[in-house]
Amino acid sequence: MYKLPDRSSGTSFDTIGILTSGGDAPGMNAAIRALVRAALNQKIKVYGIQRGFAGLIGGDMRRMSSASVSNIIQRGGTLLKSNRCEAFKTVEGRHQAAEALRKKGIQALICIGGDGTLTGAHLLARESGMTVIGLPCTIDNDIYGSDDSIGFDTAVNTAIDAIDRIRDTALSHERLFLVEVMGRKSGFIATQVGIACGAEMILIPEYPRALDSISHTLASNRKAGRGSSGIIVVAEGTEPGLTERLAGYLRQHGEEPRICILGHIQRGGSPTGHDRVLASCMGATAINYLQAGYTDVMVATLGRELIPAPLGDITARR
Amino acid sequence: MYKLPDRSSGTSFDTIGILTSGGDAPGMNAAIRALVRAALNQKIKVYGIQRGFAGLIGGDMRRMSSASVSNIIQRGGTLLKSNRCEAFKTVEGRHQAAEALRKKGIQALICIGGDGTLTGAHLLARESGMTVIGLPCTIDNDIYGSDDSIGFDTAVNTAIDAIDRIRDTALSHERLFLVEVMGRKSGFIATQVGIACGAEMILIPEYPRALDSISHTLASNRKAGRGSSGIIVVAEGTEPGLTERLAGYLRQHGEEPRICILGHIQRGGSPTGHDRVLASCMGATAINYLQAGYTDVMVATLGRELIPAPLGDITARR
Amino acid sequence: MYKLPDRSSGTSFDTIGILTSGGDAPGMNAAIRALVRAALNQKIKVYGIQRGFAGLIGGDMRRMSSASVSNIIQRGGTLLKSNRCEAFKTVEGRHQAAEALRKKGIQALICIGGDGTLTGAHLLARESGMTVIGLPCTIDNDIYGSDDSIGFDTAVNTAIDAIDRIRDTALSHERLFLVEVMGRKSGFIATQVGIACGAEMILIPEYPRALDSISHTLASNRKAGRGSSGIIVVAEGTEPGLTERLAGYLRQHGEEPRICILGHIQRGGSPTGHDRVLASCMGATAINYLQAGYTDVMVATLGRELIPAPLGDITARR
Amino acid sequence: MYKLPDRSSGTSFDTIGILTSGGDAPGMNAAIRALVRAALNQKIKVYGIQRGFAGLIGGDMRRMSSASVSNIIQRGGTLLKSNRCEAFKTVEGRHQAAEALRKKGIQALICIGGDGTLTGAHLLARESGMTVIGLPCTIDNDIYGSDDSIGFDTAVNTAIDAIDRIRDTALSHERLFLVEVMGRKSGFIATQVGIACGAEMILIPEYPRALDSISHTLASNRKAGRGSSGIIVVAEGTEPGLTERLAGYLRQHGEEPRICILGHIQRGGSPTGHDRVLASCMGATAINYLQAGYTDVMVATLGRELIPAPLGDITARR
């Protein structure tokens, strides 16, 4: 559980906006709920901005009440909807966004999302002087500066549940399965899932391996008496087309591997306890950070603590 | 729940064999357990044959006790392992199998599996005079003569659970998803899953449709005010490559569909209550059929009744 | 899957009302969705009545659109809310209800619920001449005239999932567990769950047994070499306080049984595929029955068929 | 993910023993698997001791191979079985246990369990000089010296899943539910679950509250416009009989609360990804600690690090 920071009485906000952007992740709704309730509790008005930065530029936002976030803590997806927005990647787009916020009287913006979202949030803060707080929310858990991100734990458990099913067939048919999990630039999901499923091998972008080396390891395992069934977990971003090429290579070397690409099922579903609590605490903390005068930071985890981490560092280390 | 038939005292068996063959399905273990326990209860010895018909030809079998099937009613896969066996498709192979059975003193064989398995079982019965009973067990539910097959209900629920997750993203991003479910020659899974998930469209082998007709229907739905998110459920066997081609076609017509192929996760997992009860009752009934003198039949469902259905009819209607 | 009846063009309805009443069951929302969409498709206006018969008497109802039932097919509970209503058990209360319907111009009422709800629906039809159709919806599956009711399959699977967990402890500690499942007057849930979980014993209202007879059977099982762990499934309505008394009795006879009362978790949760399809087909069929001129019937299942069954028969056989 | 310590080559072990004791928890099997595989990898022989300290005193143990822990990482319960053992609470009992270990040539013992187990492990180490390492494994997460224990995350998610179901009924019937979760001396489960489920109130042993104060808070919430449905999460150990007394009190004050006691379902089930990874890393680390010369410590977590924590401290702070 996380300790919430003390509130400084230094800064006071009247009206804030919230948006979710980029790929959706389980726990986004729990974060929205916590933000709305914590803000209302501090007599701060909240606008929910629709469809991420696109809706922000278009001024598509509506007032949120406590009831508007009832019964959503357990829901996957995001009730604010999300989007990838090209316009916001331009200075001009971000300028329009700042204008839209000012027109509505919104004094601070809270952005929930991954790498791209938080980078956009940082640029908005720097260019427009708008007060901006970020919440790291991506199943990939690849955000520099935070040990943990909302949605990661749920995605890991969803993938594990799927692989537990696949193993039933792998064992019954004594077969090798190559299972591709999400992770475009990072092997966090693959590593966690691979350990948790007792995978024979884990392939991740951080440690590229040649096909013959992989094949050689498998052959050694066979010789050492390990059964002919097995699971190899591959992070999708390890190498473009790796899973298919590996399957082809193994087929030429006497294996009969099957491929499963878990895909979008990893994004959805009811968030785990961990993600609900993380999202709830991060949401409440974001409002505290606002009132303590922070801007251009995200609520990050360091071990079991919540800390403010500069959004600029994410971009710098990208 | 199913009514079990009366046992005739006419036929008495001393020793039987059990095997699972073809693609595995949830509930195979529950069926094995019921067969073993019902047989032992009748003082019948049971051999578990390993790896389906391949193990049968190879004489790979071992005695099963009541304890050997403890705590498996809830497990996916098959503890007897399964396989697809080319040799058994030949008269010579089936002859060897019959010899292997006689050598062990096995007087009757119970085969758990789908279309191919039950066809093989029928040929063995016809050619060798061996007493053979089949249990319909396939997630596809495409066996002529039985309303229901073991594993179907579980596969449907697994696919539904996956699509419920995908819908979170579909709604959050207002996107169209093409979800491919299992079903090589039949649309049973797709239809059940599509209705249960409120799919916008269901594409199955039984009703082939042209791409432009599909696209036209989608466009009409959009005009009629249905949201831009949606799920189209496609049975894998509808047309080779249909999902990919449909996605390409829709992309040319202004949609941004995403593809998810659920794949092997549909085969595994703990069986549902329905499949456990069905497997348990079918297993107990198979032993009753044996003792009532039946052979070359499977235990089939007709509505809510269990009936003996000739294995030969499956082949005839294939 | 169920075949829907042909629509006669004989009767035409302009406006109908829908309500859910009594204990909630998974699939109620799926039924509401199907009813609303099927009615709107036939140009029939639909009022959703809040809180069951209480809301009906109080005139608490609102128009339902297609969008109002979006994304609810997978949700437990009932968005119309439910209630047990004492007033509706009186002639006077039902008279008020009929008045409220007429005032709103509602020509037919569709009632979703169990025994009590369908009995109330029948009395309303008989006394007021109102066109009434029922949908059997209760986790207990104890409605005379229908093989199946919406919610039963989900409740069974929820209880099985819970007992699968309990068995982990039962096996690890070699302990006996008495697990009480729902079923006030019937053993349907207990029987299905008990078979599916490989229970050592199943106790249901339909077959009352004396404590010493139960204890004797357990002792025999022990002697026959069955392990000291085990699950006894007890239907809550078997005898008031039976579970506690049995535990006490067994404790005096050398066992150390633990008690688990599954309780309300069996009512909730996302409906299974079976319940979603059943609810969807029953909902669509109810609208067809209306247009075919039926009244005072429920949509029942007979084997795999949907049939109209007289509501009066339920009361008669109660 | 956790960083494993370096192995010192200082101490070498030939044979070790492993046991699980006390209440079972999800992840025990994953810990056993990791211990066995890590030990075998270091050429250390492993004995699995049956039924905890009782089996240790009785000398009930058997050699474990790599295959003996295949396919158990995902299983609840413990394949070594567990027990509460009165004899081991005496000096004499622990003396017998040490003798049994020496007789088998076992040089070190690894104990997996909670408070009581680890206290026993400490006393054995102190009194007999036996090398002993502990693994904190309890759903209650109440072990002094470790932030986290194996099984806690799974129990929390199981309780959340149950309460998500209960909420369907709470909302549909606008009712108040008192849900009792596990936690004899601590509110860890209750707090995590309560936040994750959006509970109206959380009652834990660490913060006792008077009935009228609880009732007063509820009444204030009602006045402030919060709906009449709600969930109150109560840790079982808050006060003996609190849940029942609270329900009675609230009934006298106009509420109609329902009670659910989640009970043993919280102990079982397949462990979450978190618990599987934690158990796997703790198991591997325990073998490293052994070889690094540690004894009378447990593998504990401090934030995201694994550290050796003195077993004696647990007893001291009990």
- DSSP string across A78-112: -TT-----SGGGSHHHHHHHHHHHHHHT--EEEEE
What's the pLDDT tens digit per position in B115-155? 999 999 999 999 999 999 999 999 999 999 999 999 999 99
- The per-residue pLDDT for B187 is 96
- Residue with structure tokens 């049994």? D100
Query: Which stretches of C137-218 are assigned E, i.e. beta strand?
Result: 176-181, 201-203
Name A133's Cβ contacts closer than 8 Å, sequence gap at least 6: A108, A109, A110, A111, A286, A289, A290, A294, A295, A297, A298, A299
Residue D8 has pLDDT above 60, yes or no: no
Please give the interface size between B and C, counted as residue pairs whose CB atoms are below 8 Å apart.
83
Chain A interface includes B37 (CB < 8 A): no
Comparing alpha-carbon positions, the chain A residue that sits nearest to B83 is A173
Q: Which is nearest to B155 in space by CA: B51, B28, B69, B47?
A: B28
Please give the interface size between C and D, counted as residue pairs whose CB atoms are below 8 Å apart.
112
Q: What is the mean pLDDT of chain A?
A: 93
List chains adjacent to chain A, taking adjacency as at least 3 C-beta pairs closer than 8 Å: B, D
Please state the rounded mean pLDDT for residues A61-82.
96
Chain D interface includes C228 (CB < 8 A): no
Verify whether the Cβ–Cβ distance A192 to D164 is below 8 Å: no
What's the pLDDT tens digit per position in A161-193? 999 999 999 999 999 999 999 998 999 999 999
- Work out the pLDDT band at A128, boundaries 50, 70, 90: very high
Residue D174 and residue D170: Cα distance in Å, rounded? 5
Comparing alpha-carbon positions, the chain A residue that sits nearest to B170 is A77
3-state secondary structure chain B: CCCCCCCCCCCCCCEEEEEECCCCCCCHHHHHHHHHHHHHHCCCEEEEECCHHHHHHHCCEEECCCHHHCCCCCCCCCCCCCCCCCHHHCHHHHHHHHHHHHHHCCCEEEEEECHHHHHHHHHHHHHHCCEEEEEEECCCCCCCCCCCCECHHHHHHHHHHHHHHHHHHHHHHCCEEEEEECCCCCCHHHHHHHHHCCCCEEECCCCCCCHHHHHHHHHHHHHCCCCCCEEEEEECCCCCCHHHHHHHHHHHCCCCCEEEECHHHHCCCCCCHHHHHHHHHHHHHHHHHHHCCCCCEEEEEECCEEEEEEHHHHHHHC
Q: What share of chain C is helix, strand, coil (3-state, %, to 5)?
A: 45, 20, 35
- Name the residue among B196, B281, B302 with its Cβ closest to that of C277: B196
- Work out the pLDDT band at C7, boundaries 50, 70, 90: low
Buried b (16+ CB within 10 A) or exposed e, C157-187: bbbbbbbbbbbbbbbbbebbbbbbbbbeebb
Verify whether the Cβ–Cβ distance B260 to A264 is below 8 Å: yes
Q: ipTM of this predicted complex?
A: 0.95
- Residue with structure tokens 């006691």? D261
Chain A interface includes D73 (CB < 8 A): yes
Determine the distance in angstroms separating the CA of A156 from the nearest CA of chain B, rounded to an integer. Answer: 14
Verify whether the Cβ–Cβ distance D265 to C166 is below 8 Å: yes
Q: What percent of chain C has pLDDT over 70?
A: 95
Verify whether the Cβ–Cβ distance C81 to D172 is below 8 Å: yes
Range in A1-10, A240-249, B220-229, C67-76 the model is least confident about: A1-10
H/E segment holding residue A310: strand A305-310
- The residues of C that are catalytic are 140
Bridge partners of A181, per DSSP, are A235
Q: What percent of chain C has pLDDT over 90?
A: 86
Verify whether the Cβ–Cβ distance C77 to D24 is below 8 Å: no
Verify whether the Cβ–Cβ distance A263 to B264 is below 8 Å: no
User: Tell me, what amino acid is at D80?
Assistant: L
Please state the rounded mean pLDDT for residues B31-50.
97
Report how many helices (DSSP H) and strands (DSSP E) chain D contains, helices first: 10, 11
Which of C173, C176, C236, C243 to mutate against chain D (most D CBs within 10 Å)?
C173
Residue D199 and residue D179: Cα distance in Å, rounded? 10
- The per-residue pLDDT for A316 is 79
> How many residues are given for chain C?
318
What's the pLDDT tens digit per position in A193-217? 999 999 999 999 999 999 999 999 9
- The per-residue pLDDT for C239 is 85
Which of B29, B32, B71 to mutate against chain C (most C CBs within 10 Å)?
B71
D154-266 sits in which CATH class?
Answer: alpha beta
- Name the residue among D169, D258, D262 with its Cβ closest to that of C24: D169
Determine the distance in angstroms separating the CA of C77 from the nearest CA of chain D, rounded to an integer. Answer: 5
The residue among B61 and D224 whose pLDDT is bigger is B61
Selected catalytic residue, list A24, A115, A140, A153: A140
List chains adjacent to chain D, taking adjacency as at least 3 C-beta pairs closer than 8 Å: A, C
- The per-residue pLDDT for B172 is 94
Task: Write phi, then psi, for B110 (nearest 5 degrees).
Answer: -115, 125
What's the pLDDT tens digit per position in B178-233? 999 999 899 999 999 999 999 999 999 999 999 999 999 988 888 876 667 899 99
Q: What share of chain A is helix, strand, coil (3-state, %, to 5)?
A: 45, 20, 35
Please state the rounded mean pLDDT for residues B9-27.
90
Please state the rounded mean pLDDT for residues C67-78.
96
Verify whether the Cβ–Cβ distance B24 to A267 is below 8 Å: no
Determine the distance in angstroms separating the CA of A268 from the nearest CA of chain D, rounded to an integer. Answer: 16
Q: Which residues of B touch A75 (CB under 8 A)?
A: 168
The Cβ of residue A225 has, within 10 Å, a number of other Cβ atoms equal to 8
Q: Which residues of D touch C162 (CB under 8 A)?
A: 162, 265
Cα B268 to Cα B76, B83, B259, D90: the distances in Å are: 5, 15, 22, 48
Please state the rounded mean pLDDT for residues C20-27.
96
Residue A186 and residue A188: Cα distance in Å, rounded? 6
> How many residues are given for chain A?
318
The domain A153-266 is classified under which CATH number: 3.40.50.460, 3.30.70.100, 2.30.30.110, 3.40.50.300? 3.40.50.460
CB contacts under 8 A, C 116-145 vs B, are: none
Comparing alpha-carbon positions, the chain D residue that sits nearest to A195 is D277
Instruction: Judge whether B15-151+271-317 and B153-266 match in fold.
Output: yes
- Residue with structure tokens 């009022």? C47
Comparing alpha-carbon positions, the chain D residue that sits nearest to C262 is D262
CATH 3.40.50.450 fits A15-151+271-317, yes or no: yes
Determine the distance in angstroms separating the CA of C72 from the nearest CA of chain D, rounded to an integer. Answer: 12
Residue D146 has pLDDT above 60, yes or no: yes
Residue B249 and residue B228: Cα distance in Å, rounded? 17
Chain A interface includes B268 (CB < 8 A): yes
For the beta sheet containing A297-302, the strands, ordered from the edge strand earlier in sequence to the opposite edge, are A61-63, A45-49, A15-20, A108-113, A131-136, A297-302, A305-310
- The residues of B that are catalytic are 140
Query: Which stretches of chain D are assigned E, i.e. beta strand?
Result: 15-20, 45-49, 61-63, 108-113, 131-136, 176-181, 201-203, 230-235, 258-261, 297-302, 305-310
The ranges assigned to domains in chain A are 15-151+271-317, 153-266
Chain D interface includes A4 (CB < 8 A): no
Q: Which residues of B touch A268 (CB under 8 A)?
A: 164-169
Range in A222-236, A299-313, C181-195, D248-262 the model is least confident about: A222-236
The interaxial angle of helices B28-41 and B273-291, nearest 10 deg, is 40
Q: Which residues of C touch B303 (CB under 8 A)?
A: 302-305
Supply the DSSP symbol for A46: E
CB contacts under 8 A, C 150-179 vs B, are: 153, 156-157, 160, 164, 167, 171
Chain A interface includes B219 (CB < 8 A): no
Chain D interface includes C52 (CB < 8 A): no
List chains adjacent to chain C, taking adjacency as at least 3 C-beta pairs closer than 8 Å: B, D
Please state the rounded mean pLDDT for residues B170-177.
93
Verify whether the Cβ–Cβ distance C196 to B147 is below 8 Å: no
Q: Which is nearest to D230 in space by CA: D221, D239, D241?
A: D221
Determine the distance in angstroms separating the CA of A154 from the nearest CA of chain B, rounded to an integer. Answer: 11
- The per-residue pLDDT for A255 is 85
- The residues of D that are catalytic are 140
Cα B114 to Cα B276, B280, C212: the distances in Å are: 17, 17, 46
Report angle CA C13, C17, C18 to the nearest 5 degrees: 130
Residue D133 and residue B87: Cα distance in Å, rounded? 54
Bridge partners of B178, per DSSP, are B232, B259
